[in-house]
Amino acid sequence: MVPYRKETKMPQNQPVRFYKIIALSFLVLTLVLLGLIVFMSAKRATITITAKETPVSVTIPVTIGGAAGGDRLAGSVATTSVRVSQTFSPTGTEEVPGVAIGTITVHNESDTDQALVATTRFLSDGGILFRLKNGVRAPARGAVDAEVYADQEGALGNIVPSRFTIPGLNDARQKAVYGTSAASMSGGVKTAGVLSAKDIEDARAKLLEEARIEGEKLLKSVQGELAGVWSVLDSRIETDAEVGDKITGFTMTMTATALGVFYSAEELQELAGRSLEKRAVEESEIIVPSSAMPSVAFDSYDATAGEAVVSVFYDGLASLNPESKEIDKAVLFGKTREEVRRYLLSLDHVQSVEIDFTPAWMRTVPQVKEHVNVVIKSVR
C-alpha cells in the first residue's frame, strides 16, 4: 500500500485581514491621541481681575541738618531779621453823631446888597439851626448859593428841603432876605470803624505771611539750588490803635526772625517714598507713589544744634501686586469658575473677576501655565 500526504490549503486572505485590523486599530489610536493632544492644546483660560486702587499716605518727621541717616537729611538752616508794616481797615462799624451839611440859596428881594458873615444863623421851618460856613454877599434882586452846617451834631440836622429865615435881621429885612434848600441836608449820623480783636488777629496773620515772604527774599542767596521751607519765629507787633477805638484805619508793624530750612528735594522724596512703601501689605500689595513732590511744612527749630524738623506728607496708590504669589497661575490650576471667582474676590483690592474658558464647555482651569492668561485692570 502506497502512503500519500494530504495537503490542506489555508485561505489566502486571512493574514491580510489580520494586518488590516492592526493597521486600522493603530490609525484609530493615532487619531484619538492626536485629537486628545489638539483638545488639550486648545484648552485655555483667560482670567481678568479688576483691582481697585486705594489712596495711601504717610506723614513723617524729618530732621534737616547735621549728618544724613535714617529720618535725617543733610541740609542747612538759616535765619534773618525782618520788619514789615501795613495799614488795615477795621471790619466792625458803629453809628456816631456827625454834623449835617448842605447847600442853601440866599435870596435878596430888596434893592440893596446884603452881606452875611461866616457863622450867620439860618433857621429852618422846622426849627433846626444852621450856620454859614463862609461869608457871602447876596446881590440886590438876586441870589447866591452858600454852604451851611448844623449848629448841633446828630440826626436832627438831616432835614428835607426847607425855607430858612435869618434871625439876626429885623423882621422887615427877614421877609426880603431869606434862604431855601433844594436838597436834603446829610451827615448828621456817620458810620465809624470800630477796631476789634479779630481785626488785630487778622492783621497779625497777614503780616506773618509778609514777613515770611520777606525772609524768603533775604535768604535766597543761602538757598542756592536746594528746595526750602520758611517760617517766622519770635514775632512782635506794634499798633497805633487799641481794641474798641473808633477809627477809619490802623497801622501795624511786625519785627520777627525769618527762618529758612534747605534740603535736597530728590533725597527727601526718596526718604518719603521708602516710608510709603512700608505701608504695603507684604508682597501682595504694590504702592505707586504720587508723581508730585511731597508736601513739606515747618515743625520746630533747635537753635543750639542748628537743626530743624519738618513734617513731610507723601501719598500714592496701593493696588494688587501683579507678581504676588496669591495670584500665581499654579494656584488656580484645576479650579472651577466659581472656585476661582470666590478665591480671587477674597483678596484685597480685587473688585471683580471675569473668567473665559476655551472651549466654552470647559469646567476647570488648565494645568499648563502657558494656557492660562491672567489680566489685571486697575481702577480708582
Q: Show the 3-state SS of 17-46.
A: HHHHHHHHHHHHHHHHHHHHHHHHHHCEEE
What are the tens digits of pLDDT across the range 202-222? Answer: 999 999 999 999 999 998 877
DSSP state of 349: T
Which pLDDT band holds residue 94 (cuts at 50, 70, 90)? confident
Predicted confidence at residue 54, as pLDDT, reads 87
- C-alpha 6 chain-centroid distance: 117
Q: What pLDDT is stored for residue 1 in this prediction?
A: 45
Query: Which is higher by pLDDT, 147 or 341?
Result: 147
Residue 353 clears pLDDT 60, i.e. is over it: yes
Instruction: Give mean pLDDT, residues 357-380.
Output: 82
Compute the 3-state secondary structure of the chain and give helix, strand, coil in percent, each to the nearest 5. 25, 45, 30
pLDDT at residue 184, rounded to an integer = 96
Tens of pLDDT, residue by residue over 329-345, are 888 888 888 888 898 88
Domain positions in the chain: 44-53+321-379, 77-92+193-263, 99-187
pLDDT at 3: 54
User: What dotted CATH number matches 99-187?
Assistant: 2.40.30
Model confidence at 9: pLDDT above 60: no
Q: What's the CA gap between 183 and 161, in Å, rounded?
A: 5
Our measurement of the distance from residue 317's CA atom to the centroid of its chain's CA atoms, rounded to an integer in Å, reads 19
Percent of the chain with pLDDT over 90: 52
Residue 160 cell numbers, joined:
428835607
Least confident of 25-34, 116-125, 149-158: 25-34
pLDDT, tens digit, for every residue of 282-325?
777 888 898 889 999 999 999 888 899 999 999 999 888 888 88
Q: In which element (H, E) is residue 136 found? A: strand 136-138
Strand order in the sheet with 92-97: 92-97, 189-194, 246-247
pTM here is 0.58
- pLDDT tens-digit readout, 10-43: 555 566 666 677 777 777 777 666 655 555 555 7
Mean pLDDT of the chain: 87
Least trusted range by pLDDT, from 123-132, 160-169, 241-250: 241-250
48-81 pLDDT, tens digit per residue, is 888 888 899 999 999 998 777 888 898 889 999 9
Arithmetic mean of pLDDT, 149-153: 96
